[in-house]
Chains A and B, each alone.
Chain A
């Protein structure tokens, strides 16, 4: 009996350290993953709603951005402006909405004693938020301003311009074309329990989590889209993706020139190969002065020059260095070392609750990393992935710097 107790204790301790994912679903289709962890009296919840390419009608680029702003600034049911915030802050609850690649996310953190209230308020936000036509123009103006005159440094603006997929980059015309019924249709398509995954982390057990989610989100049902008065234009009239001539050039008077190239992760790249490339590419000596970072599925290469350096020279130098790495690829020894480092790094997630939740979400969305696939990854697959990612035809390039220097860039 004593030994059984010891095993029980050890098991409970290991559960605390590495919370195992426990999943369940509600009858309305909401999928829930619980990571139970009782170290502190805190509960975290991340609710992710997937946005699919078909959710945005042609020529309505910017619809998710405008919807995100409308939803974030809208009132919740019969609560007056600011009342929801007051109820959240009375209990020290943090609730933030963000638009991330592939979807909308709500991140909630509350003391465990406030978990019922916190989840109830999250549910109110999701189910009872009113899209208010009276703020549409103000929010459209804010989006337009973001497109016309994005704030932040020229470097940040260059990066923002490059990370927007040309096909989904909002334009003034596309933002002006969005009507209230587009927003309501978008809401009906996206804010649905079967589109959502809820990741819970922290000081609550499985039965407690089931009760909590059922009480707060069990009555969540999708809203019907409004009947369209004027159907949006068909796909045939959609503008073609921007041509390379759209390469952004951000003026930064008196400053040295910066050339950047961005490439989004190829859709067919295995997540395991992407993870290893993340360890092998940034800081690679073959890139010399080109700085490479991989963030949120984007590979970002940067080359800075002094003011007066010919932009055309830097432009071609950046392309040459990336092409040289693409052709050279990696050796078996690189793959082996990266694999060892990757397996060791997984334990670091135990130090970051948000990282554990992101990992659980990735697994629930079907792009999690598997130990078996990582072990089986071949050198050929790794180098093919690198070649696809750095394919010159898919690189989006741009520059910031003194307007005089920008003029020296080649015409694309």
Chain B
């Protein structure tokens, strides 16, 4: 027996030093839902994640934005009136239907008014009725943030809509596990969406406030006609027309048990968890087979495309190459290419473009934009430093791509990139919610949650030549789309630039009569002046001001 003590101590010590492989148990529930369990013994809390395959990319055109709306209104909060059938439940359903009718009537009335502004309108009376209905609904809503069922139990929840999946993540104390299963099952059975109109208004307001985005321009130009190329901002009218009952119907069709994965990380065993999950989430009904979304094929070599736009606060170069989906054998090689080019402070773009040449102040690269289930984009996002043009930056980027394709990759650089990816993998494993997200996305994008672990093993076995071959096959002009973003000089936040615009306009007005020509001249002048440093611009401003009549200075 005395021997047991040192053995135990040694075993605990060993446990402390040797990294364990990721242990995931998988089961299939009766209704087709998948359950993954990662045991983390002794944790007093757990992480529970629901992943639904098929995100924004699978939305039919009339319901574009539905995944984002479901993330906000179905999974963003957990109000009792959305789950527990109560005395006033019938009232709430009736009010939601009335609200839907009034919202639709107001929308149509506004469209009619736009076509014929002189015609008599019923909008004010409809709006008054809507206000009455909404105030009656609010009386049925919970009034305290602690009425949220998870918050009251110390929990946290968040939901995320991606192009390939909808993820709903919850963290709760361990004793609330069965409560979580029951609540999620009830949520999916009821699909009440009581705060639908608020969520839609807030989504529309967010989209309007962020305005046009450079990344959306790139996606649209690089992936024309593809759901991955869609910009939600272009679908505001259909989002405004989307009704409560449409979204409910969409949720019932798309949030099916056979497209759902339940991922649990916590101090559980499969024996204790499985019966509870079966009892609640395993009894969700399976709707009749729907049609799988068929996405149009897109050729990677559509030709070299260029877009120039005046947008945002500063000049920016976005370059996207059409790349294969996560299933493709070259996908991992491209992941390593991104790591070598932009993964960390010693990566090639950071070293060459930021530190040594000072051409850009920020360089990022990302893979699988906006998703990895279908062919998407590999994107380089570069922000030029003051005094450097987009053309210079573009040339330098292409030169780095050519180096990667042609020159042998040094061993130390290769090992550094691998070490960074391994450390990143360990960090993901260490945090339950991050691990669940990674497993869920591997399943939603690549069809297999094991890719989380397999990818890192395959990366270790990859040869540098494979990276170069993939770079030569995919990072080529015919796969490329370039977006050159220049800030709009007339909405500039830079005080020197705003002053330059004023002075140039005043000077141009004395010489050019045509306003369009004048505006073009000022824009071009500002574009040229951006190549100068701040001090040179200030000096130029003073010189230009000196040419103005004293009363105009």
CB of B1 within 8 A of CB of A18, answer no
> What's the minimum C-beta distance from A249 to chain B, rounded to whole angstroms?
13
CB of A153 within 8 A of CB of B210, answer yes
Q: Which of A148, A149, A256, A286 contacts B209 (CB 8 A)?
A: A256
Please report the C-alpha to C-alpha distance between residue A334 and residue B146 in the assembled complex, in whole angstroms. Answer: 8
Where the two chains meet, the residues of A that have a C-beta atom closer than 8 Å to any C-beta of B are 1, 5, 8-9, 12-14, 16-18, 38-42, 81-82, 85-86, 88-94, 109-112, 141, 148-149, 151-153, 155, 203, 205, 251, 253, 255-256, 279-286, 304, 334, 337-338, 340-348, 350-353
Which 6 residue pairs of A and B lie closest in terms of their CB atoms, listed nearest first?
A: A344-B154, A17-B42, A92-B423, A283-B145, A345-B154, A285-B143
Please report the C-alpha to C-alpha distance between residue A343 and residue B155 in the assembled complex, in whole angstroms. Answer: 11
CB of A149 within 8 A of CB of B494, answer yes
Interface residues of B in 1-36 (CB under 8 A from A): 1, 4-5, 8, 12, 15-19
Residues in A neighbouring B270, C-beta threshold 8 A: none
CB of A347 within 8 A of CB of B154, answer yes
Residues in A neighbouring B427, C-beta threshold 8 A: 42, 94, 109
8 contacts between A and B (CB under 8 A): A5-B5, A17-B43, A92-B423, A93-B423, A304-B209, A341-B151, A344-B154, A348-B155
Q: Tally A-B pairs: CB < 8 A.
A: 168
Interface residues of B in 486-526 (CB under 8 A from A): 491, 493-495
Starting from the known contacts A82-B355, A92-B420, A337-B146, 17 additional A-B residue pairs (CB-CB under 8 Å) come to: A5-B8, A8-B8, A12-B12, A40-B426, A41-B19, A42-B427, A82-B351, A88-B345, A92-B421, A110-B423, A151-B314, A255-B208, A256-B208, A284-B145, A343-B154, A347-B154, A353-B431
**CB of B462 closer than 8 Å to a CB of A:** no
Residues in B neighbouring A253, C-beta threshold 8 A: 491
Residues in A neighbouring B491, C-beta threshold 8 A: 253
Residues in A neighbouring B40, C-beta threshold 8 A: 39
Please report the C-alpha to C-alpha distance between residue A256 and residue B206 in the assembled complex, in whole angstroms. Answer: 11
Q: Which of A149, A334, A344 contacts B153 (CB 8 A)?
A: A344
Interface residues of B in 340-399 (CB under 8 A from A): 344-346, 351, 355
**CB of B85 closer than 8 Å to a CB of A:** no
CB of A38 within 8 A of CB of B15, answer yes
CB of A148 within 8 A of CB of B151, answer no
Name the CB-closest residue of A to B151. Answer: A341
Please report the C-alpha to C-alpha distance between residue A352 and residue B435 in the assembled complex, in whole angstroms. Answer: 12
CB of B209 within 8 A of CB of A90, answer no
Please report the C-alpha to C-alpha distance between residue A82 and residue B352 in the assembled complex, in whole angstroms. Answer: 11
Please report the C-alpha to C-alpha distance between residue A390 and residue B245 in the assembled complex, in whole angstroms. Answer: 41
Please report the C-alpha to C-alpha distance between residue A251 and residue B492 in the assembled complex, in whole angstroms. Answer: 10
CB of A341 within 8 A of CB of B8, answer no
Please report the C-alpha to C-alpha distance between residue A128 and residue B424 in the assembled complex, in whole angstroms. Answer: 28
Residues in B neighbouring A153, C-beta threshold 8 A: 210
Q: Which of B143, B209, B431 contacts A351 (CB 8 A)?
A: B431
**CB of B422 closer than 8 Å to a CB of A:** yes
CB of B419 within 8 A of CB of A90, answer yes
B140-158 vs A: 1/0 string, CB under 8 Å? 0111111010011111100
Name the CB-closest residue of B to A288. Answer: B138
Residues in B neighbouring A85, C-beta threshold 8 A: 344-346
Q: Which of B152, B172, B430, B432 contacts A340 (CB 8 A)?
A: B152
Q: Which of B145, B426, B432 contacts A42 (CB 8 A)?
A: B426
Please report the C-alpha to C-alpha distance between residue A259 and residue B427 in the assembled complex, in whole angstroms. Answer: 39
Name the CB-closest residue of B to A36. Answer: B16
Residues in A neighbouring B41, C-beta threshold 8 A: 13, 16-17
> What's the minimum C-beta distance from B98 to chain A, rounded to whole angstroms?
21
Residues in A neighbouring B205, C-beta threshold 8 A: 256, 304
* Contact status of A89 and B420, CB under 8 A, knowing A9-B8, A40-B426, A81-B355: yes
